[in-house]
Amino acid sequence: MMVRVVVVFLVACAVGVRGLVAVSSPLSGGRRCCSFDAEEYEAVEIAVDKKFPVRGTLFRAGPCDKKGNGAFLAVTFSDESVIARMRFVRTAGYLQALRESQGEKPRALRPETPTGVAAACCYWADRLFALQDEGQPYQMDPLSLGTQKMSDLGGQIDKAFAPRTRVLNEEKVLCNVEFTPGGLFFPPTLSFLEFDDRFRLKKTPSKQVKLDKDERLLDWSPSESRYAALTKTPTTTSLRITPRTMTSSFRLSLDDDADDDADDDADDDADSSSYVAIVDCFDDDEKDSLVVDVLTDNGSLRRLTIIGETLEKTVDMASNVDCVTVASDRKSLYASAGSSLLKIQDSKIVASYEGQGNVGPATVVGDDHLLALIHCGDSRTEIAAFSTSNLACIASAPLPKPLPFAGACLDGTFAPKLVPSLEDLRAAETLMRLYAKKSREWNEIEGGFSGLGIKSFLFPKGVSGG
């Protein structure tokens, strides 16, 4: 109780006219705290020539640094300003590496503690999570980007949560998958999870998809009625199609299809390809078929049409693709290919943008706009807004520090209702420092922290990740 009173006093001393006292940004020579890395920076307003046509906050995970640590970038768009900030996710692996770099002895971790990389972000039900490439996600503060703790979503997940979430917009459902590696006597399995718009598990999976002993999950996607999972063994790449009712499942080999297409395009072995990711899948009710859009390891974007349990048709839509984003209505695809951004409808390219730098993955904002990073060499990275109709660049602005182009990577997520001011963000960062003084490890902080001010510190209900 005494410790809590002391910390409350420290917070109260920092209260100003509009909440917590604003602190200076490291970019303007301000004092650095919490062992900031060179790539990190606190909230700073960036100069814009033209007003951005969006309102809300863009979250992007990555790219990782040379040590494999994952960072979060957040850019807030309001009527008055554009504000950016970036911070590494304090995963268990990151903290271990940080201690080693400072000459300290790493602490012993529990055997079950994952030391993975924050590979993707998820903003759902007004909460922000960093999804690891293995293990449970970390709950993040959406304002300061401070790492709160590893979360089991209130006991709703066990040990696994895939670093990719999919949203069925019409149903307002967030989907994820649990992949359980097999053991000596048990095969690996897949369990599909569905959460409502309050992050409550709609139903506990009563059935699991059993895989072969050496089969692993590459990617997956839900349609309105089915799940499509891309899996791989040492000799075979397959699609496993499972109804969302989990009543049955079948496996469709894709190796013959990939080899045949490669032979049609060229005679040499260098053009052979294999499928590595699912972009999207949806039901075509008119043809009673399932359409699956996939990427190959050589950057080909293909559309597979499955009728019954047979692959009926394969169409090449684009080549040299780095990453693809799906429109909210699932009728269009936006593919980043080097310095180009492509709009694809009905398997055809209908619009394109050609820039001066590599275009990162686009994020859909409503029905009319896209946001994407443009990497102009090693010295400049811009945030740009595009029209979804013709991909015209509406506005752009340089980020405070350049980011390396990561190539194929996941798209970000956009929170339209999250529009904090610069004062709000700096207040959250002040509160983050006070917590950091209490505990050097964010993952061991007790209680909830949302960065919204002293009220959430005194009354932390509902922000502990449960």
pLDDT tier at 9 (50, 70, 90 boundaries)?
Answer: very low
Q: Which of 87-96, 176-185, 259-268 has the lowest mean pLDDT?
A: 259-268
Say how many domains are in the chain. 1
Q: What is the pLDDT of residues 46-78, one digit of tens each?
A: 999 899 999 999 998 876 665 656 788 999 999
% of the chain exceeding 90 in pLDDT: 39
Average pLDDT taken over every residue of the chain: 77
Structure confidence at residue 452 (pLDDT): 43
Burial 190-215 (b: 16+ CB within 10 A, else e): bbbbbbeeebebeeebeebbebeeeb
Q: Which domain holds residue 320?
A: 170-324
- Whole-number Å distance between alpha carbons of 124 and 131: 12
pLDDT tier at 118 (50, 70, 90 boundaries)?
Answer: low
Q: What is the pLDDT of residues 356-365, one digit of tens each?
A: 899 988 999 9
> Is residue 21 assigned to a domain?
no
> Is residue 366 assigned to a domain?
no
Which 3-state string (H, E, C) describes the chain?
CHHHHHHHHHHHHCEECCEECCCCCHHHCCCCCCCCCCCCEEEEECCCCCCCCCCEEEEEECCCCCCCCCEEEEEEECCCCEEEEEEECCCHHHHHHHHHHCCCCCCCCCCCCCCCCEEEEEEECCEEEEEECCCCCEEECCCCCCEEEECCCCCCCCCCCCCCCEEECCCCEEEEEEEECCCCCCCCEEEEEEECCCCCECCCCCCCEECCCCCEEEEEEECCCEEEEEEECCCCEEEEEEECCCCCCEEEECHHHHHHHHHHHCCCHHHCCCEEEEEEEEEECCCCEEEEEEEECCCCEEEEEEECCEEEEEEEEECCCCEEEECCCCCCEEEEECCEEEEEECCEEEEEEECCCEECCCEEECCCEEEEEEEECCCEEEEEEEECCCCCEEEEEECCCCCCCCCCCCCCEEECCCCCCHHHHHHHHHHHHHHHHHCCCHHHCCCCCCCCCHHHHHCCCCCCCC
> Is residue 196 assigned to a domain?
yes
Structure confidence at residue 54 (pLDDT): 96
> Is residue 121 assigned to a domain?
no
- Which amino acid makes up residue 36? F
Q: Which of 11-25, 177-191, 301-315 has the lowest mean pLDDT?
A: 11-25
Q: Which of 247-256, 296-305, 407-416, 452-461 has the lowest mean pLDDT?
A: 452-461
**Sole residue written with tokens 């490291």:** 26
- Whole-number Å distance between alpha carbons of 127 and 62: 19
pLDDT tier at 39 (50, 70, 90 boundaries)?
Answer: confident
> Is residue 274 assigned to a domain?
yes
Q: What is the pLDDT of residues 358-389, one digit of tens each?
A: 998 899 999 999 999 998 887 889 999 999 99
Residues with Cβ within 8 Å of residue 171, at least 6 apart in sequence: none
> Is residue 412 assigned to a domain?
no
> Is residue 240 assigned to a domain?
yes
Structure confidence at residue 445 (pLDDT): 41
Q: Is the pLDDT of residue 170 over 80?
A: no
Q: Is the pLDDT of residue 28 over 60?
A: no
> Is residue 347 assigned to a domain?
no
Q: What is the pLDDT of residues 316-365, one digit of tens each?
A: 999 999 889 998 888 899 999 999 999 999 999 999 999 889 998 899 99
Q: Which of 133-147, 243-257, 400-414 has the lowest mean pLDDT?
A: 400-414
Q: Tell me which of 118 and 245 has the higher pLDDT.
A: 245
Structure confidence at residue 56 (pLDDT): 97
